[in-house]
Structure 1
Amino acid sequence: MEVMEFGFREFQLHIIATMPESPNRSTALELLDAGERDVEDALSVARAIGLFRLGHQVDLERSILGEEIYKVPLSESGDEASGAYGDSDVLAFRLPAFPGFDYAINVASSGVVWGQRFVREQGSPVPEVSGIHDLEPWGFVKAELEPLLRNKVVDDKFSFSETITGSLVLDNSRDVGRSVALRFDFELLQTVSIDSRLSGVANHLAI
């Protein structure tokens, strides 16, 4: 069996593989000139080379993505860690399939990678949220939307995916208090649904 070459394009494909519900998936695949078979193959190779392995070294990411576009101490990024991870740095890489955002990883002094996620490009403004329909998939990261939710509950957390439900806290909006479920993959917003536990049905919003 021929082993797929795993480079910059395939790295993006393996991330897209973790986002099966994203309405932006087809656009990203078109940009990368890829199909679903390419996505499946990239995911398989990513697992084989250890990208999903806990405790893998940053040399793996750098061998695929090259040098980071910036590096800052974790303490200066607004996040915190303790113990062996307390002196971690944040390294960011630019992935064209995800415009407006950077792929960020935390790297401990030992070289161990953890906390893989997307962050907004430095200097880019966060869009204003006046209602549910402003919550566009691939338009926000988790850290930007969590402050807009009260009574937050993490309903489903698996690997790099999680669903957070809560009531919207918005000024002068008809959606204030509306209960929503937000699905994130690598902390990038994927889908927005009305919380089925209050509405009786989970309706994915057509955004």
Structure 2
Amino acid sequence: MSTDMDGPSSTAATGRPALTGRTVPERPLVVRPTTAPIIANVPPPASIRVSQFFWILAIAIGGFVAVYSFIIRSDQLPLIADRVEAVTEGRTDATYASAADIVFWVFFTTLVIIVLAQIVLLVSFMGRRRRIRWWQFATWMLSLCLLLVSRELVAVGDRGEVLFPLLALLCGLVAIALLFSVLPKAITWSARQYDLRPVSGPVGGSDGGF
């Protein structure tokens, strides 16, 4: 009887259950391993940074060529008219002047569109939009066509002959930028779209879970 009475009384006195040979359960974790991941600010790989650098150089070259060609347009128009006359003879001077205006403004407008499109596409590329590389490749193809046209019609004369090497440099920079953008790490970075990391903090806060 004394033994039976001692057990409950000791439990009531200490406030803790008496050990009966069973193993004590482990304390529950204060970290929830299945917490949803959050978006992490992870810098892009080196190939993306290099591609971005060459895109910026190409855009700067394209902008310079557009501004420079607009400045020298008064000197280039008579030379363009002479090139047009060499192709088709027997026309009036007014016809050749109008053709020269059309050739120059088509060249200038196309170049401006290429530069603006490359700016927008670069922003989309860094934002990991899908299929942006195909549009960037299209601007490179259009730049090549502009390069060929400029060699025959626009990049003439003492002040205009510099246009061709600048446009060739533009096409080369775009080609290098595209090459770095299709490297394996760059492709993986673009396909992932978001960088996620798991939450490893404690459940709830110090203010009771609010």
Q: TM-score higher than 0.5 here?
A: no
TM-score norm. by structure 1 comes to 0.23
TM-score norm. by structure 2 comes to 0.23
* Larger Rg belongs to: 2
Structure with greater helix percent: 2
Structure with greater strand percent: 1
* Higher relative contact order (CA closer than 8 Å, sequence separation 6+): 2
